């Protein structure tokens, strides 16, 4: 059975967090996960089946990184594995490291997953494969929704061993184009309101694992 919740961590940090924070958060998560057999299994799996996103309250974009004008941030973490949610909660201490940024933990909460058609998605990355390299796909490309749906279906089959019920994805309106860093590599993704139609189990699964490439690296979380 899939989880019906995600974890929300409220943080305080007055400084600037560098734009490579997705990789830094991933490193923090994996460092704590590797201390357990479940964590090591997740780290070595083909699909990690978790997603996360960091959002500043009253955020401003600066040349050197992202800053919250009131010093408050929200980190959301979700997973298709109940045990991974519990493991994440246990790993949270008084401080949460994002690279060299030491954030104070203000509180840890649970947030219910919902059955609806319109969500917000963190930057979704989709590649078009050719003979030489991977090429970023633009959001208006007819194959973009196909790539998103196919990626979600593969994760569903990996977890359950069953074919995923049909679901359809599209952006509600023109999304925000995001260019960001991941381990020194520039990635192009699209964030904004999305429409995801299909059975409730599929929408629940999407909220657990995210959409597009590399949700376990901070891309494509569905909220």
pLDDT tens-place string over residues 42-91:
878 889 999 999 999 989 989 888 999 999 999 999 999 999 999 999 98
pLDDT digits (tens, 9 = 90+) for 83-107: 999 999 998 989 999 989 999 999 9
Q: Which residues contact 157 (CB under 8 A, 6 or more apart)?
A: 163, 164
In whole angstroms, how far apart are CA 5 and each of 77, 78, 121? Answer: 10, 7, 17
When pLDDT is cut at 50, 70 and 90, the band that residue 135 belongs to is confident
> What span, in angstroms and rounded, lies between the C-alpha atoms of 143 and 87?
36
pLDDT of 132 strictly over 60: no
Q: Tokens in use for 160?
A: 């359950």
């Amino acid at each position: 059975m899939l989880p019906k919740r995600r974890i929300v961590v409220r943080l305080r940090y007055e400084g600037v967090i560098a734009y490579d924070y997705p990789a830094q958060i991933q490193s923090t998560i994996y460092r704590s996960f590797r201390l357990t057999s479940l964590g090591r299994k997740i780290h070595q799996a083909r699909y990690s089946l978790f997603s996360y996103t960091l959002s500043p309250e009253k955020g401003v974009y600066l040349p050197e990184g992202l800053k919250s004008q009131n010093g408050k941030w929200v980190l959301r973490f979700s997973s298709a594995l109940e045990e991974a949610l519990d493991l994440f909660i246990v790993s949270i201490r008084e401080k949460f490291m994002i690279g060299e940024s030491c954030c104070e933990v203000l509180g840890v909460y649970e947030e219910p997953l919902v059955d609806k058609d319109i969500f917000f998605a963190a930057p979704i990355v989709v590649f078009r494969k050719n003979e030489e390299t991977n090429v970023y796909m633009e959001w208006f490309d007819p194959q973009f929704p196909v790539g998103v749906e196919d990626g979600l279906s593969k994760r569903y089959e990996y977890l359950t061993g069953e074919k995923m019920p049909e679901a359809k994805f599209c952006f509600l309106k023109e999304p925000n184009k995001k260019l960001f860093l991941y381990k020194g590599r520039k990635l192009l993704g699209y964030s904004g309101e999305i429409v995801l139609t299909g059975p409730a189990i599929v929408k629940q699964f999407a909220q657990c694992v995210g959409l597009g490439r590399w949700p376990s690296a901070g891309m494509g979380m569905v909220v």
